[in-house]
Amino acid sequence: MIDINLIRTNPNLVKENIKRKFQDQKLKLVDEVLELDKRQRELKQEGDDLRALRNTLSSKIGALIKEGKKDEAEKIKAEVKENNVRASQIEKEEEELGAEIKKRMLVIPNIIAGDVPIGEDDFKNVQENTYLEAKVPDYEIPYHADIIEALNGADFHAARRTSGAGFYYLTGDIARLHSAILSYARDFMIDKGFTYCIPPFMIHSDVVTGVMSFDEMQNMMYKIEGEDLYLIGTSEHSMIGRFMDTIIPEDKLPLTLTSYSPCFRKEIGAHGIEERGLYRVHQFEKQEMIVICKPEDSESWYKKMWNYSVELFKSLEIPVRTLVCCSGDLADLKYRSLDVEAWSPRQKKYFEVCSCSNLTDAQARRLKIRYKASDGTNKLVHTLNNTVVAPPRMLISFLENHYQKDGSITIPKVLQPYMGGKTEIKKDKE
């Protein structure tokens, strides 16, 4: 959520930002906020005037009673009573106007960085760099679900019976590989100085609306029936929510945290062959990185964070590229974002495995996360998040890039200690 003072002082900038995000239907919200805000401030002034008058009249009542002027005192009491009735009405109207302003402010997108590429959707995202050579072997690489099943590593059919489409059982060495990647990613981030956390996997609605837009919530979140609880779609939600309504001492910043959680999402991939398997599912596990810092430090942390992802995937011997997200591909709270995409030698293309975002103070303003500056004032922090790894999706690229002609999967050196020393996963002997 942006600062309302920006709308008051520079509404044209806010409108231009909305246009850059191709959300022209929201332009009217700026004028509506200005009109509602003007009315609310007028009411506030009226309320302040009434309170000042009430104090003056109340002091007169005592003096008149002392002077024996009871009738005059009663008249002023009646005036004070009317004053109080109007003050109560004003307070109610102010509250209603505040709710209407907030409803609109939550929908107006965050101001995006000036160098964000302008484009309507992810087709206009801009490739920045590639890392490691993207190779295609001279033998056929099967679809990832077939690779896994050939290694007795999954049961998709049973999952459909127990839970429906978009679920899976992982078994044997593939399940172990899944856990090994998460454990390696955890230790990788700890070695970078991040504090490991396991957060709650359910959060209240006020946290949900603080960390994401309403449209995202509707498309992603599962709600617990009959309770004010939602299953998290990523641990970023509960990790940022942890600091709501807090004032962090300046010397404690930055907070650098890495969190593990299962994640639950309504979304499922497009119909067709990619629907079977692990590409887009309702339940998965993820290692996340979160940074809460002073505003002047957020851009340097943004660069560090996505570079950590690149370094991690390179250590796993998986080619990746970085894509700068265009304006239309940015969620409403994001200032800028960069996707890390892994190479799929079977499809001969890259696909997203990490997304690094700087949200500036958009989440912090919604959740009232501040820090105590050295000058004694309370200031909003900046929040950033990035995926470390999100198996099982990233397993697709792992399996394809380490698939051998005989159907085995090689294990990179960095992962071997987490696999009990195994150097490869082979098919069971028949």
In SS3 terms, 219-242 reads as HHCEECCCCCCEECCCHHHHHHHC
Same domain assignment for residues 96 and 129 = no
Among 149-158, 163-172, 239-248, 259-268, where is mean pLDDT lowest?
259-268
Among 24-28, 67-71, 182-186, where is mean pLDDT lowest?
67-71
Same domain assignment for residues 245 and 335 = yes
Same domain assignment for residues 407 and 346 = yes
Domain that holds residue 91: 4-105
- The pLDDT of residue 395: 94
- The pLDDT of residue 317: 98
Q: With 60 as the cut, is the pLDDT of residue 268 above it?
A: no
Which residues neighbour 365 within 8 Å (Cβ) at sequence distance 6 or greater? 1, 2, 3, 380
Of 83 and 239, more confident: 239
In a domain, 112, yes or no: no
* Confidence at 75, pLDDT banded by 50, 70, 90: confident
Of 53 and 203, more confident: 203
Q: With 70 as the cut, is the pLDDT of residue 96 above it?
A: yes
Same domain assignment for residues 305 and 360 = yes
Question: Mean per-residue pLDDT for 165-193?
Answer: 96
Q: With 70 as the cut, is the pLDDT of residue 133 above it?
A: yes
Q: With 50 as the cut, is the pLDDT of residue 101 above it?
A: yes
Tokens read off for 42: 């007028």
- What average pLDDT does the chain have? 91
Question: Mean per-residue pLDDT for 102-130?
Answer: 95
In a domain, 285, yes or no: yes
At residue 421, φ and ψ (nearest 5 deg) are 90, 0
Of 113 and 89, more confident: 113
Same domain assignment for residues 179 and 77 = no
Residue that is last in its domain, among 71, 105, 139: 105
- The pLDDT of residue 315: 98
- The pLDDT of residue 226: 94
In a domain, 24, yes or no: yes
CATH number of the CATH domain containing 30: 1.10.287.40
Q: What is the number of other CB atoms lying within 10 angstroms of the CB of residue 426? A: 13
Same domain assignment for residues 39 and 139 = no
SS3 422: coil
Question: Do 117 and 324 meet the contact criterion of CB atoms below 8 Å apart?
Answer: yes
Cα separation values, 423 from 211, 241, 316, 352, 402, Å: 41, 41, 13, 27, 11
Sole residue written with tokens 């008058």: 53
Of 429 and 19, more confident: 19
In a domain, 212, yes or no: yes
Q: With 80 as the cut, is the pLDDT of residue 292 above it?
A: yes
Same domain assignment for residues 130 and 58 = no
* Confidence at 272, pLDDT banded by 50, 70, 90: very low
* Confidence at 79, pLDDT banded by 50, 70, 90: confident
Question: Do 292 and 285 meet the contact criterion of CB atoms below 8 Å apart?
Answer: no
Same domain assignment for residues 240 and 271 = yes
Question: Mean per-residue pLDDT for 65-80?
Answer: 72
Length of the chain equals 430
pLDDT in tens, 22-54: 999 999 999 999 999 999 999 988 888 887 777
In a domain, 116, yes or no: no
For the chain, what percent of residues have pLDDT higher than 90?
78
Question: Mean per-residue pLDDT for 203-228?
Answer: 86
Same domain assignment for residues 61 and 166 = no
- The pLDDT of residue 48: 83
CA angle 360, 364, 366 (to 5 degrees): 120
Same domain assignment for residues 161 and 36 = no
This prediction has a pTM of 0.89
* Confidence at 142, pLDDT banded by 50, 70, 90: very high
Q: CA nearest 326: which of 44, 58, 127?
A: 127
* Confidence at 270, pLDDT banded by 50, 70, 90: very low
CATH number of the CATH domain containing 243: 3.30.930.10
Q: With 90 as the cut, is the pLDDT of residue 306 above it?
A: yes
Distance from C-alpha of 339 to C-alpha of 61, rounded to nearest angstrom: 69
pLDDT in tens, 335-346: 999 999 999 999
In a domain, 331, yes or no: yes
The number of domains in the chain is: 2
SS3 69: coil
- The pLDDT of residue 271: 43
In a domain, 113, yes or no: no
- The pLDDT of residue 269: 46
Distance from C-alpha of 304 to C-alpha of 166, rounded to nearest angstrom: 33
* Confidence at 63, pLDDT banded by 50, 70, 90: low
Residue that is last in its domain, among 105, 131, 156: 105
Same domain assignment for residues 197 and 346 = yes
Tokens read off for 252: 């404690």
Same domain assignment for residues 34 and 136 = no
Q: With 70 as the cut, is the pLDDT of residue 250 above it?
A: yes
Q: CA nearest 320: which of 346, 347, 339, 301?
A: 339
SS3 116: coil
Question: Do 1 and 365 meet the contact criterion of CB atoms below 8 Å apart?
Answer: yes
Residue that is last in its domain, among 65, 80, 105: 105
* Confidence at 275, pLDDT banded by 50, 70, 90: low
Distance from C-alpha of 344 to C-alpha of 217, rounded to nearest angstrom: 30
Question: Do 220 and 267 meet the contact criterion of CB atoms below 8 Å apart?
Answer: yes
